[in-house]
Amino acid sequence: MKTVQDYIRTIPDFPHDGIMFRDVTTLFADPRGFRMAIDQMLHPWAGQEIDKVVGLEARGFILGGAIAHQLTAGFVPIRKAGKLPGETFAQDYTLEYGEATVEVHVDAIDPGEKVLVVDDLLATGGTAVAGLKLLERLGADVLGCGFIIDLPELGGRKVLDDMGVKTHVLCAFDGL
């Protein structure tokens, strides 16, 4: 029987030499694999009230939309700087290959709303932490974070654990 990990291909030396890129587009393209991933990402939060699913740019949008649909919840994107048309809060962060800024609309979430944060990959945790800081500014009640892939050697899981954030991952890959 196939696992979620079996649907993910690895592309060596992308986007830089020495990086083993974990490509989830092959998972998304397969109906059974995609369904399996969505179902497994939902599992830890079964039976909990979730008002909004927050997707981190960009593959988190694909996951977040599908998960929000399954939960009959709203969907909120956290986007790269300059991509959202309304008034936003911004948060700078460091990622594996440099620095970036993410934004969220100031009216995307009402204080106290219960949210789930999703993305495809947990590496250093930079993007997730930036998203969590934005959600804190909005007054969201973050129930946890879900990811398809964890890269344990980069320490993102420990960062989220140290923050007290419940984190669920479907699979892990060794190396970068």
- Mind listing the pLDDT tens digit for each residue in 14-39? 988 998 999 999 999 999 999 999 99
Answer whether 144's CB lies under 8 Å from 117's CB: yes
The rounded distance, in Å, linking the Cα atoms of 162 and 169 is 16
* Active-site entry in 22, 59, 79, 157: 59
User: Tell me, which fold does domain 34-172 have in CATH?
Assistant: Rossmann fold (3.40.50)
What pLDDT, on a 0 to 100 scale, did the predictor assign at position 83? 97
Whole-number percent of the chain with pLDDT over 70? 98
Domain locations in the chain as residue ranges:
34-172
Average of per-residue pLDDT values in the chain: 96
* Active-site entry in 49, 87, 96, 153: 96
Q: pLDDT tier at 176 (50, 70, 90 boundaries)?
A: low
- Catalytic site residue 59? yes
Answer whether 68's CB lies under 8 Å from 115's CB: no
- Catalytic site residue 96? yes
**Segment holding 122, helix H or strand E:** strand 114-122
